[in-house]
């Protein structure tokens, strides 16, 4: 939640927008395959997706393929979290695919003249600040959109995943950034930040005068015909979004989380694969669908342009921009994940194609395997091998290793019970004061150091213990148990040492008294000397 734990990352995404298989410009691939007219290809695509679902233990998914400005293939696989068959009308949550939606909303306000991309955020949100006021004053809207604001990746764990649906939840989360120290100055480094997108959602609320979810319906979803899109708790309940699934020691288990209004701008937009396909169609046609425009062609191109170098490819205004591995085709894409859900949009603008895949399960340590479904289909459309990612042994070993560590610590805590055996009691009494102090000091120091390391490890990749519990429940619970037992061991050994030393002092005093008493007894028992007179 993991150096090992943090491979969990408690790589964070923190929290969402996760690493995908490396992309490279390998040169143009074979000629474009036409899904619309090739039934055999459609069957192979479906078979490939089924195989990926089996490999990751994902119960259900939905797939859509776009060619030439229209949907040419769309279908569901498996079951949702309530046992119903997944169809193109089954709702999912989209994770960080919400970020391009937020990017579109911000650009709408730019084109309306209400927002300047290069103006300080504080012009629109005077209360906005990080722990460093000077840095806060210099953060612009563009910095937030491109993840170059200086807000650390760890801030996503600090203010995200609150599942807060109270009025003003989004603004409350953004205000909590005031306690976060910046990792760098604005524009200096790239750091993926869901927290920055939370601020952008509040900015849209402020300049539009509308709650963010209501704004999205009015200005994005309704014009694009995204009839089942989710951006409010009411939408979530109306669409009856089924539970997603997490992995617990290799078993796929449902995770019925509530909605999170405080997380809509960066991760909690949702809807059916039909809804996300309509959003994608508008992106491919310069911000327009069925004669209705939500953004100018120029503004749409600006969101899809790679503005800065990121951890993977370049990053635009909500989108990642790179090339599709094995084909060299320009690719505009976004991965998004939540505990229990995974989403992918891959657009290939030069050939007017796109792949959309939604899944109702996710495992943070196996993110590449989940993303293989969409990337593989995109490569198959170009006639190249889809390729797959083998399971990282870490994903299997880490939860069990953490559970084993917790079990070992439990045995250490229980070990003093052995002192109740006569032999152990005698051995304990035989220890010198120096040995008691030395042994206890080393044990307590080791236990406290271990607890500190386990608590600190998630932060090295931008995560927290709380994120570990949410995203990797088996690993997170083992981590918490190990930390708790290490602390308990330190307390227990300190208390036992104090008791042993007190007993040792009492024993020493008793031994001295016994020796003195025995000496007095010997003196009293010694017969008095008498003088015997001999007769003359």
pTM of the model as a whole = 0.85
pLDDT of 507: 60
**What pLDDT tens digit does each residue of the chain (536 aa) get?**
333 333 333 333 333 333 333 333 344 444 556 787 789 999 999 999 999 999 999 999 999 999 999 999 999 999 999 999 999 999 999 999 999 999 999 999 999 999 999 999 999 999 999 999 999 999 999 999 999 999 998 898 888 899 999 999 999 999 999 999 999 999 999 999 899 999 999 999 999 999 999 999 999 999 999 999 999 999 999 999 999 999 999 999 999 999 999 999 999 999 999 999 999 999 999 999 999 999 999 999 999 999 999 988 999 999 999 999 999 999 999 999 999 999 999 999 999 999 999 999 999 999 999 999 999 999 999 889 999 999 989 899 999 999 999 999 999 999 887 666 555 555 556 678 888 889 899 999 999 999 999 999 887 766 789 999 999 999 999 999 999 999 999 999 999 888 878 877 766 555 555 555 554 544 454 554 444 444 43
What count of other Cβ atoms lies within 10 Å of the Cβ of residue 85? 11
Q: Within 13 Å and on the Cβ side, how many CA atoms surround 426?
A: 3
Residues in the chain: 536
pLDDT given at position 35: 83
Contact yes or no for 20/336 (Cβ under 8 A): no
5-381 topology per CATH: Beta-lactamase (3.40.710)
Residue 27 and residue 207: Cα distance in Å, rounded?
Answer: 45
Rounded Cα gap, residues 360 and 338, in angstroms: 10
Residues 245, 84: Cα–Cα separation, whole Å:
14
Q: In this structure, are residues 242 and 61 in contact, taking their beta carbons and an 8 Å threshold?
A: no
The reply to whether 96 belongs to the active site is yes
Tell me what pLDDT residue 508 has: 59
Domain ranges of the chain: 5-381, 393-523
Selected catalytic residue, list 96, 154, 156, 337 = 96
Q: What's the confidence (pLDDT) of residue 536?
A: 38
- Rounded-to-integer distance, Cα 62 and Cα 74, Å: 8
Which residues have CB under 8 Å from 371's CB, separation 6+? 18, 20, 21, 335, 342, 344
**Packing angle of the helix pair 98-111, 194-208 (nearest 10 deg):** 40
What pLDDT score does 158 carry?
A: 84
The Cα–Cα gap between 281 and 288 comes to: 8
DSSP for residue 421: S
Neighbour-count burial of 291, counting CB atoms closer than 10 A to its CB (0-12 exposed, 13-18 middle, 19+ buried): exposed
Rounded CA separation 428/497 (Å) = 10
């Amino acid at each position: 939640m993991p150096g090992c734990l943090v491979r969990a990352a408690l790589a964070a995404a923190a929290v969402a927008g996760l690493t995908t298989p490396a992309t490279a410009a390998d040169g143009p691939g074979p000629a474009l395959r036409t899904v619309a007219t090739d039934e055999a290809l459609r069957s192979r695509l479906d078979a490939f997706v089924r195989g990926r679902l089996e490999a990751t233990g994902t119960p259900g998914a939905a797939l859509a393929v776009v060619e030439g400005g229209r949907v040419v293939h769309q279908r569901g696989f498996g079951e949702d979290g309530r046992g119903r068959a997944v169809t193109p009308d089954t709702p999912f949550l989209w994770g960080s695919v919400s970020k391009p939606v937020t990017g579109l909303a911000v650009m709408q306000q730019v084109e309306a003249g209400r927002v300047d991309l290069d103006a300080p955020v504080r012009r629109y949100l005077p209360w906005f600040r990080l722990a460093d006021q000077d840095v806060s004053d210099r953060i612009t809207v563009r910095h937030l959109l491109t993840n170059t604001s200086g807000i650390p990746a760890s801030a996503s764990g600090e203010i995200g995943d609150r599942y807060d649906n109270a009025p003003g939840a989004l603004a409350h989360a953004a205000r909590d950034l005031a306690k976060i120290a910046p990792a760098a100055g604005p524009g200096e480094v790239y750091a993926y930040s869901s927290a920055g997108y939370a601020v952008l959602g509040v900015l849209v609320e402020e300049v539009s005068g509308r709650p963010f979810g209501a704004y999205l319906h009015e200005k994005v979803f309704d014009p694009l015909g995204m009839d089942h899109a989710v951006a409010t708790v009411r939408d979530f309940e109306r669409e009856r979004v089924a539970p997603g699934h997490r992995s617990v020691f290799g078993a796929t288990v449902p995770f019925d989380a509530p909605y999170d209004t405080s997380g809509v701008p960066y991760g909690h937009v949702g809807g059916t694969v039909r809804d996300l396909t309509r959003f994608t169609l508008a992106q491919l046609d310069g911000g327009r669908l069925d004669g209705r425009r939500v953004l100018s062609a120029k503004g749409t191109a600006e969101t899809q342009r790679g503005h800065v170098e990121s951890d993977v490819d370049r990053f635009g205004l909500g989108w990642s921009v790179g090339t599709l591995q094995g084909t060299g085709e320009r690719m505009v894409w976004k991965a998004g994940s939540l505990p229990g859900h995974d989403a992918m949009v891959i657009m290939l603008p030069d050939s007017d194609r796109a792949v959309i895949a939604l899944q109702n399960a996710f495992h943070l340590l196996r993110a590449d395997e989940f993303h293989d479904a969409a990337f593989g289909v995109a490569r198959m459309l170009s006639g190249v091998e889809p390729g797959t990612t083998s399971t990282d042994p870490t994903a299997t070993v880490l939860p069990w290793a953490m559970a084993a560590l917790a079990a070992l610590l439990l045995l250490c805590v229980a070990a003093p019970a052995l002192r109740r055996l006569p032999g152990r009691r005698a051995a304990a009494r035989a220890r010198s004061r120096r040995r008691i102090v030395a042994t206890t000091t080393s044990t307590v120091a080791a236990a406290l150091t271990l607890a500190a390391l386990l608590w600190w490890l998630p932060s090295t990749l931008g995560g927290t213990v709380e994120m570990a519990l949410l995203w990797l429940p088996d690993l997170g619970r083992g981590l918490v148990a190990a930390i708790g037992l290490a602390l308990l061991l330190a307390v227990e050994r300190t208390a036992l040492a104090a008791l042993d030393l007190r007993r040792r002092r009492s024993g020493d005093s008793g031994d001295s008294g016994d020796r003195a008493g025995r000496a007095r007894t010997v003196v009293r028992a010694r017969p008095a000397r008498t003088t015997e007179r001999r007769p003359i």
